[in-house]
Amino acid sequence: MEYRISNDVLTVAVSSLGGGLTHLIKGGAEYLWQGDPAFWSGQAPQLFPIVGRLTDGRCTMDGETCRMNGHGFFRRREMELLEEGRDHITLAQCYDENTLEQYPRKWRVALTYALAGATLTVRFQVENLDEKRLWFYYGGHPGFQMPLEEGLDFCDYYVRFAAGQPVQLLLSDECFMSGEEAPLALTDGLLRLRHGLFDHDALVLRNTGGAVTLFSPKGSRSVTLRHEQLPYLGLWHTPKTRAPFVCLEPWMAPPARQDMVEELAEKPGTLSLEPGARHEITWSITLDEG
């Protein structure tokens, strides 16, 4: 099922399947990638309780084994409508026997989308319903149409960072975290997009300053993503293609390290919730900020 919310500036559509965005429209223009399976059938999934792939498809949580596919299971499960207004919506998802087999904890998530002017705010609240401590990491994965307007090309676009010098976490040949880092190569403080940037999968960054803007000096449309609570950022499109989209992905923690079946309690960036505790993560997308 698809839900729509709007205000005087934006129209947003949200799927009940995983609560992913399906449309992000301003002034009649669609900014969100529309999911062509020739490149990537996704659009803007919510990632929980992990981000990225796991070594051998598994990790541990206080010594108990978890077995999950990349990006976790949340994005492939139906959500229940909790509240709906003209400019906001809240959906919920809860554990079941299937998730317990993969991730042995009881939990509940409330996902809210709210509009204010040209900004869409995303609130992801996790509640621990278990008698044991819960460990998780979370991320967003919105993809944006490229180019954002007619007459431009993918390579006309740049990414501007709020911080002066982002750091890139380098990937292994198998596309896990290698443990090495390097300053991100910028030109005049900007990252110019080109398809070859993603031939080795995502760029995984930290020290972005909590905000990035996708723009072209030749155009008028832009996307600003603010992610102060999520210290990592993934930039991605389908490797070794000329895919006409780019993803700006705010993450709580990076994917797994090479050859390590990670204990979540020891992984940088994971969050721990005691029984009965809740935690809310907020990030936002603003269109054409100027």
User: So what's the pLDDT on residue 12?
Assistant: 98
pLDDT in tens, the chain (290 residues): 999 999 999 999 999 999 999 999 999 999 999 999 999 999 999 999 999 999 999 999 999 999 999 999 999 999 999 999 999 999 999 999 999 999 999 999 999 999 999 999 999 999 999 999 999 999 999 999 999 999 999 999 999 999 879 999 998 888 888 989 999 999 988 999 999 999 999 999 999 999 999 999 999 999 999 999 999 999 999 999 999 999 999 999 998 988 889 999 999 899 999 999 999 999 999 999 75
Distances (CA, A) of 140 to 74, 119, 151, 215: 12, 16, 29, 20
Are the C-beta atoms of residues 166 and 205 closer than 8 Å to each other?
yes
Give me the amino acid identity at 193: L
Using DSSP bridges, classify how beta strands 245-251 and 232-236 pair: parallel, antiparallel or unpaired: antiparallel
User: So what's the pLDDT on residue 163?
Assistant: 83
- Kindly list the structural domains of the chain, giving each domain's residue range(s) and its CATH number in brackets, ordered by start: 2-150+234-287 (2.70.98.10)
State the Cα–Cα distance between residues 209 and 189, nearest whole angstrom. Answer: 13
